Amino acid sequence: MKIKVIEETPTHMKLLMVDTLPAVANAIRRTVLGEVPVMAVDTVTMYENTSVMFDEYIAHRIGLVPLTTDLKTYKNPADCCDGNCSSCSVDLNLDESGPKVVYSSSMKTTDPKVKPVSGKIPIIELGPGERIRFEAKAVLGNGQGHAKWQVGNAHYSYISDVPQSNSICPICETEVKGKKGDAEPGSKGWEPNVCTSCKKALTAVGKKKMPTKKDRTGFIFTIETNGQMTARQAIQTAINILGDKVKKLESQL
């Protein structure tokens, strides 16, 4: 398998994958969605809540606030003490009174490396005289356990199945100036107009032109995270997890 990065931002990455099988691309996708560990609030101790919302409703919203994740420092609770020490859990607390909108920036953490990805996520609106005070514990988990531990989204498509035109690059979907040939799109001998950067990407992975409809070994793989970690970290972690599984299977054969 050959891979070339087409687009990359801290939370978004688009890859060109060739000479591999759909099963491999799907395995990476499923691992990103279900097995990459990230931090999320798992338990909430509510000391005071005089708002109009139930404790359970507020706790659910707190659990869905994405937290930055440090995989080098923290262990999976199942491999430690089940979330009862500083090696596998992080404590957060909040104490606010109304009238005001309480945002995620009000959640104070014992470790600056683990904090809300954004401080602008609304938790609850407090009226005059209302107060909310709680302590929470965040631990590592993955998407198989709950959606709050899902690092983001990932999907792929066959290169040859991407809608094609003369003005849009079929790989990165950016606008391409000029036309290529006089043939009608989709007719025999017609080729989509690929942008310069994607032409270089195709060349780098051994493709001189766009794959045909019969070529099912080339993919455009896209991953977007919620901000807990970068897209590059997420896909590298997923590949490492798959590699460990293969080694474990190999040792048992």
User: Mind listing the pLDDT tens digit for each residue in 217-242?
Assistant: 788 899 999 999 999 999 999 999 99
Q: Average pLDDT for residues 162-179, to the nearest whole number?
A: 70
**Most confident segment among 80-84, 121-125, 185-189, 215-219:** 121-125
Q: What is the mean pLDDT of residues 197-206?
A: 80
Is the C-alpha dihedral spanning 191, 195, 198, 204 positive or negative? positive
Residue-level pLDDT at 213: 67
pLDDT score of 169: 78
Determine the Cα–Cα distance for residues 141 and 147; give it in Å rounded to an integer: 10
pLDDT digits (tens, 9 = 90+) for 57-116: 999 999 999 999 988 889 888 888 887 888 889 999 999 998 999 999 999 999 999 999
CA dist., res. 102 & res. 122, Å (int): 6
Does residue 205 register a pLDDT over 60? yes
Taking the C-alpha atoms of residue 14 and residue 153, their distance in angstroms, rounded to an integer, is 12
Higher pLDDT, 191 or 111: 111
Average pLDDT over all residues of the chain: 87
| pLDDT for the residue 185 | 55
Contacts for 13 with CB less than 8 Å, ≥ 6 apart:
5, 7, 222, 223, 224, 231, 232, 235
Cβ atoms < 10 Å from Cβ of 205: 15
Please give the structure tokens belonging to residue 250.
């190999």
Determine the pLDDT at residue 99: 95
**Residues 25-44: tens digit of each pLDDT:** 999 999 999 999 999 999 99
pLDDT at residue 80, as a whole number: 85
Alpha carbon of 221 to those of 27, 172, 184, 236: distances in Å? 12, 11, 28, 13
Q: Which pLDDT score, from 0 to 100, does residue 82 have?
A: 82
Find residue 162's DSSP bridge partners.
none
Domains, in order of start, for the chain: 2-35+152-252 (3.30.1360.10), 38-145 (2.170.120.12)
pTM of the model: 0.83
Question: How does residue 184 score in pLDDT terms, banded at 50, 70 and 90?
Answer: low
